[in-house]
Amino acid sequence: MCCLICMADTDAIILKHSGKVSFFDCHRRELLSRHEYRSDIGKAITKRRSSKRLEGEQVVEWLDELVDDDDGGFLCYGEEHSWTHKSCLWELPYAKALVLPYNIDVMHQERNISAKKDLVEICDRPYLEIQINSNGMESRPRAPYYLKPEDRKQILKWLQTLNQYKRAVNVSTGKLNGLKSHDYHIFMERLLPVMFRGYFDDELWKLFAELSNFYRQLCAKVISKKLMRELEKGIPVLLCQMEKIFPPGFFNVMEHLLVHLPWEALAGGPV
Ligand SMILES: [Zn+2]
């Protein structure tokens, strides 16, 4: 469901109220087999293996088994697969030999994560359950990632002092407009930990800092196999920690793709 790497081997769910696909709680299976988070809640996931990665030959075999339906698609669409068409690229003579059939566009993925973390999104998504107070009114507790309006303004004004961002910042609407992929790239790898320092509690700030560090190491000009293997082990832990704070709707496929990036860097080389 949505992930080109996991394909059908995923625990992603469709959220009941929003109808969005969520990869919430899909990352404990990627942890080392004895990691403590595996047994945090429920036992079903503790023994699940990491999601399988299909190589070229397996994808071609799968495509060959698809059966056309009367609407121009394939039978069992949405139940057993998400294929809408067969790309001619799979007919190339070397398609079966591909170890890395897809390569995730890190800049695109980074941009989507970054856009989600913009200030407005953070402020507008309180995640705790709605509570009914003594007057029978609904109220929402303040989420740990809530930024007070005055803090938001301070951060935006600081961003305005940076040449690269000053034209993009709109303090009155609280939005960043017209940023390019490279701006988001810098935003995630350099600015994220700096701009939020002191505005969130240490636990949440540390998650932002670790995420930023992950991208910085992944996108370095020179990478080592050892470091990529460490990132591969570490990123599911970070995602599990984020799941303790952010709501299910936050974890769409873009957050999930983080677990696949270190392996792709190992197989395909520096980003
Ligand atoms: Zn996946």
170 Cα–ligand 1 center, Å: 35
Domain that holds residue 178: 104-268
193 Cα–ligand 1 center, Å: 26
Q: Which helix (H) or strand (E) holds 175?
A: strand 175-176
60 Cα–ligand 1 center, Å: 18
At residue 170, φ and ψ (nearest 5 deg) are -125, 100
122 Cα–ligand 1 center, Å: 25
In a domain, 117, yes or no: yes
205 Cα–ligand 1 center, Å: 26
In a domain, 125, yes or no: yes
84 Cα–ligand 1 center, Å: 18
pLDDT at 129: 56
Query: Within a 13 Å sphere around the CA of 109, how many CA atoms are in the beta-carbon half?
Result: 21
In a domain, 164, yes or no: yes
238 Cα–ligand 1 center, Å: 16
In a domain, 80, yes or no: no
**pLDDT tens, residue by residue, 191-234:** 999 999 999 999 999 999 999 999 999 999 999 999 999 999 99
State the total domains in the chain: 1
In a domain, 88, yes or no: no
Burial class (CB in 10 A: 0-12, 13-18, 19+), 265: buried
Q: Which residue has the higher pLDDT, 271 or 224?
A: 224
In a domain, 255, yes or no: yes
Burial class (CB in 10 A: 0-12, 13-18, 19+), 154: middle
Helix boundaries (H) for the chain = 56-65, 106-116, 119-123, 149-160, 181-186, 192-196, 202-218, 225-243, 253-256, 261-268
Residues in the chain, total: 271
Mean pLDDT, rounded, for 237-252: 88
24 Cα–ligand 1 center, Å: 12
In a domain, 187, yes or no: yes
In a domain, 133, yes or no: yes
